[in-house]
Amino acid sequence: MKILIATNHLALYGGSEIVCLEMAEYFKSRGHRLTVFASVAAAPMADIFGSRVGVRLVTDPFEIAPFPL
């Protein structure tokens, strides 16, 4: 399944960032194709999503256009 997780920001290690990370790890471990969108992405969380989870992290809203609303 193709899944999109969207949040406003992925920068600091806390709150909603950790929830998004746990969701991404879960869906990735089940073999789903995953994209994570954040308006703002910065270290350390952006690095964790790339290295630890290995998901596509995008900050351009036009890159998520293929996902239906």
Is the pLDDT at 26 greater than 70? The verdict is yes
For residue 12, is it within any domain? yes
Sheet holding 2-10, edge to edge: 2-10, 33-41, 56-58
Count of structural domains within the chain: 1
Average pLDDT over residues 26-50: 92
How high does pLDDT run on average in the chain?
90
pTM, two decimals, is 0.85
Range of the domain at 18: 2-64
Q: How far apart are CA 43 and CA 27, in angstroms?
A: 22
Is the pLDDT at 54 greater than 90? The verdict is no
Average pLDDT over residues 40-67: 87
Q: Name the pLDDT band for 69 (thresholds 50, 70, 90).
A: low
